[in-house]
């Protein structure tokens, strides 16, 4: 067959990289910066800190990625099922021939989506029992040391210190943390755990009470106190904890896990310690009540003692019946004692009459006969046992004589040892020995080893010498 050359095509040729770069330029040129609304699908955070997740609706899915620096600046972390608005730019990922959205920031798609996620998290944590009332501890009445978890800047810590100084001076330890942003939740959780880890009697005093405080703000500003890590740290705290996050209308999940919720940071300080003057007045009132109660108790008991004294009879009347019974027993005692002695004497005479020597000797003879009979039976049993054992021993001795190696030597065998008295069981070990000791049934002889000669055994198929083959 003759091949006919086809005319060359005018269509230009591109490499794979050229096509990929062209698609990337077109996509990034048309969609420089976009805002995409959708539901978050799977979320994966790599060990490098980058976050990979999907944005989807009922008809399509867009793969999305946020680099480590962008993830650190997010105020709200995306979770699966959460509806968000993602801001970023579309680009391509050439090694996998796909396009993706590089997300720079994420915000919930309205307060409703954020509240729905908050309610879902609240229900999950409540199902674990972290919000149970029986877990909550009573606050100490007058703590000596109070640990405050808050920002060192701002009016919150100043309000707490001012209110504590006005009411009752206590030692305050501040653990500075970020109260909003990406680092808020881990820093607050570490602060609560750090205060609990302080040893009692250490160089830094262990707080008797903790206050987690922050001023008011939007739900996004307070979101760090809704994170699961903060809620679990508050629930696991062995030190009683007051939550004072936001204003009275603000509610976060740490409020449910704390032992007490304060509407404001100042109210938390008021809960923590009493007013010094009020405490002094209360103590004075208690002291006055104690004195009055003591005086009234003394008067009441004195009157009660007087009433009981009138009802108690005279001592002579109480002792007279017992004294009369004692006199009666004293009169009857000598006669009873004489009668008892006479009865015991008669009992002894009756007993001694039955103790005749002949009877005792007869019992001794019977006991001797029984003892002799038992000794005779035991001797017969022992002789029988000894005879049986002697028979078994003789049988074993005959078995030993017949199976022992001297008997084997008498049947024509010999035992070969080397000069060190080691037993030799092969021709190779005998060839290595410098001297051989051969033991027969009647004596042991010494010999020098000769070079071993391996005998050639005839093959089973070869006929013996002098016999012709049948094949």
Question: What residues contact 226, with CB distance under 8 A and at least 6 apart?
Answer: 118, 121, 252, 253, 254
Q: Which ranges in 38-89 belong to alpha helices (H)?
A: 68-72
Q: How far apart are CA 223 and CA 276, in angstroms?
A: 36
Phi–psi pair at 258, nearest 5 degrees: -70, 160
pLDDT band at 466 (very low <50, low <70, confident <90, very high): very low
**Does 270 fall in a domain?**
yes
Interstrand relation of 34-45 and 51-56 (parallel, antiparallel or unpaired)? antiparallel
Q: In terms of domains, do 239 and 222 share one?
A: yes
**Does 189 fall in a domain?**
yes
Structure confidence at residue 120 (pLDDT): 84
Tokens found for residue 173: 């330890």
**Does 86 fall in a domain?**
yes
Q: In terms of domains, do 125 and 265 share one?
A: yes
pLDDT band at 37 (very low <50, low <70, confident <90, very high): confident
Q: In terms of domains, do 159 and 253 share one?
A: yes
**Does 391 fall in a domain?**
no
pLDDT of 187 over the 60 cut: yes
pLDDT band at 193 (very low <50, low <70, confident <90, very high): very high
Number of domains in the chain: 4
Q: Which stretch of 142-156, 225-239, 450-464 has the lowest confidence by average pLDDT?
A: 450-464
Structure confidence at residue 165 (pLDDT): 83
Domain residues for the domain of 269 are 119-132+140-274
Q: In terms of domains, do 43 and 159 share one?
A: no
In the chain, the percentage of residues whose pLDDT exceeds 70 is 91
CA distances from 298 to 26, 293, 308, 311 (A): 101, 9, 15, 20
pLDDT band at 361 (very low <50, low <70, confident <90, very high): confident
Tokens found for residue 36: 């995409």
Question: What residues contact 243, with CB distance under 8 A and at least 6 apart?
Answer: 212, 225, 234, 252, 254, 255, 257, 258, 260, 261, 262, 268
pLDDT of 465 over the 80 cut: no
If you average pLDDT over residues 203-224, what whole number do you get? 87
pLDDT band at 293 (very low <50, low <70, confident <90, very high): very high
How much is the pTM? Answer: 0.46
If you average pLDDT over residues 220-242, what whole number do you get? 90
**Does 214 fall in a domain?**
yes
Query: Measured between alpha carbons, how far apart are the two ends of the chain, in Å?
Result: 70
Structure confidence at residue 470 (pLDDT): 38
pLDDT band at 460 (very low <50, low <70, confident <90, very high): very low
Structure confidence at residue 467 (pLDDT): 45
- For the ranges 130-134, 239-243, 246-250, the maximum mean pLDDT occurs at 239-243
Is 449 buried (19+), middle (13-18) or exposed (0-12) by CB count in 10 A?
A: middle
Q: Using CA atoms in the order 38, 40, 42, 46, what is the torsion angle rounded to 10 degrees?
A: 110
Q: How far apart are CA 102 and CA 86, in angstroms?
A: 9
pLDDT of 92 over the 70 cut: yes
CA 153 to chain CA centroid, nearest Å: 41
- For the ranges 115-129, 281-295, 409-423, the maximum mean pLDDT occurs at 281-295
Q: In terms of domains, do 151 and 253 share one?
A: yes
If you average pLDDT over residues 165-192, what whole number do you get? 88
Q: In terms of domains, do 83 and 164 share one?
A: no
CB atoms within 10 A of CB 378: 10
**Does 463 fall in a domain?**
no
Structure confidence at residue 111 (pLDDT): 57
If you average pLDDT over residues 159-167, what whole number do you get? 85
Structure confidence at residue 112 (pLDDT): 62
Tokens found for residue 126: 């409540």
Q: Which stretch of 33-37, 292-296, 370-374 has the lowest confidence by average pLDDT?
A: 33-37
Structure confidence at residue 6 (pLDDT): 54
Q: In terms of domains, do 256 and 284 share one?
A: no
Q: In terms of domains, do 211 and 166 share one?
A: yes
Q: In terms of domains, do 145 and 230 share one?
A: yes
Structure confidence at residue 451 (pLDDT): 62
Averaged confidence pLDDT in the chain: 83
Q: How far apart are CA 342 and CA 309, in angstroms?
A: 52
Structure confidence at residue 118 (pLDDT): 79
Whichever domain contains 259, its CATH number is: 3.40.50.2300
Q: In terms of domains, do 160 and 268 share one?
A: yes
Q: In terms of domains, do 97 and 179 share one?
A: no
**Does 268 fall in a domain?**
yes
CB-based contacts of 104-111 (< 8 A; 24+ apart in sequence): 104/66, 104/70, 105/70, 105/73, 105/74, 106/66, 106/74, 106/76, 106/77, 106/78, 107/76, 107/220, 108/76, 108/82, 108/83, 108/84, 109/37, 109/83, 109/84, 109/85, 110/83, 111/219
Structure confidence at residue 76 (pLDDT): 75
- For the ranges 28-37, 79-88, 189-198, 433-442, the maximum mean pLDDT occurs at 189-198
**Does 46 fall in a domain?**
yes
pLDDT band at 454 (very low <50, low <70, confident <90, very high): low
DSSP 8-state class, residue 146: E
Return the CA Rg of the chain.
Answer: 54
pLDDT of 27 over the 70 cut: yes
Q: What is the pLDDT of residues 315-353, one digit of tens each?
A: 777 787 888 888 888 888 888 888 999 998 888 888 777
Whichever domain contains 32, its CATH number is: 2.40.50.140
Q: In terms of domains, do 124 and 103 share one?
A: no
Q: What is the pLDDT of residues 49-79, one digit of tens each?
A: 899 999 988 888 888 999 888 888 887 778 7
């Amino acid at each position: 067959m003759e091949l006919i050359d086809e005319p060359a095509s005018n269509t230009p040729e591109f490499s794979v990289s050229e096509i990929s770069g062209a698609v990337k330029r077109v996509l990034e040129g048309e969609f420089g910066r976009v805002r995409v609304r959708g539901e978050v699908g799977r979320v994966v955070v790599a060990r490098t800190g980058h976050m990979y997740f999907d944005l989807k609706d009922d008809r399509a899915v867009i793969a999305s990625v946020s680099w480590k620096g962008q993830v650190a600046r997010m105020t709200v972390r995306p979770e699966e099922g959460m509806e968000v608005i993602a801001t970023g730019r579309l680009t391509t990922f050439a090694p996998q021939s796909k396009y993706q959205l590089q997300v720079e920031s994420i915000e919930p798609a309205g307060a409703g989506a954020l509240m729905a996620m908050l309610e879902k998290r609240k229900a999950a944590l409540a199902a674990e029992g972290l919000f149970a009332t029986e877990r909550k501890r009573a606050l100490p009445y007058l703590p000596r040391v109070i640990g405050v978890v808050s920002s060192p800047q701002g009016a919150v810590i100043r309000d707490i210190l001012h209110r504590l100084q006005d009411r009752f001076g206590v030692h305050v330890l501040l653990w500075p943390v970020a109260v909003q942003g990406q680092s808020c939740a881990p820093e607050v959780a570490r602060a609560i755990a750090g205060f609990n880890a302080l040893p009692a009697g250490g160089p830094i005093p262990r707080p008797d009470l903790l206050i987690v405080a922050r001023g008011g703000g939007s739900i996004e500003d307070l979101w760090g106190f809704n994170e699961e890590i903060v809620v679990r740290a508050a629930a696991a705290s062995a030190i009683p904890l007051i939550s004072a996050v936001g204003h009275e209308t603000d509610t976060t999940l740490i409020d449910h896990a704390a032992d007490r919720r304060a509407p404001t940071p100042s109210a938390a300080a008021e809960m923590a310690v009493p007013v010094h003057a009020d405490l002094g007045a209360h103590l004075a009132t208690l002291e006055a009540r104690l004195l009055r109660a003591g005086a009234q108790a003394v008067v009441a008991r004195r009157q009660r003692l007087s009433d009981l004294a009138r009802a108690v009879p005279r001592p002579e009347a109480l002792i007279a019946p017992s004294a009369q019974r004692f006199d009666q027993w004293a009169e009857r005692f000598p006669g009873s004692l004489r009668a008892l002695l006479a009865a015991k004497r008669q009992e002894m005479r009756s007993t001694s009459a039955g103790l005749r020597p002949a009877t005792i000797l007869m019992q001794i003879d019977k006991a001797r006969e029984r003892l002799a009979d038992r000794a005779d039976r035991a001797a017969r049993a022992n002789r029988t046992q000894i005879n049986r054992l002697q028979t078994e021993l003789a049988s074993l001795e005959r078995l030993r004589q017949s199976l022992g190696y001297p008997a084997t030597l008498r049947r024509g065998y010999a035992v070969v040892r080397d000069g060190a008295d080691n037993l030799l069981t092969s021709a190779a070990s005998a060839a290595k020995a410098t001297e051989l000791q051969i033991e027969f049934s009647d004596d042991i002889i010494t010999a020098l080893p000769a070079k071993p000669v391996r005998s050639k055994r005839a093959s089973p198929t070869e006929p013996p010498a002098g016999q012709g083959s049948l094949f």
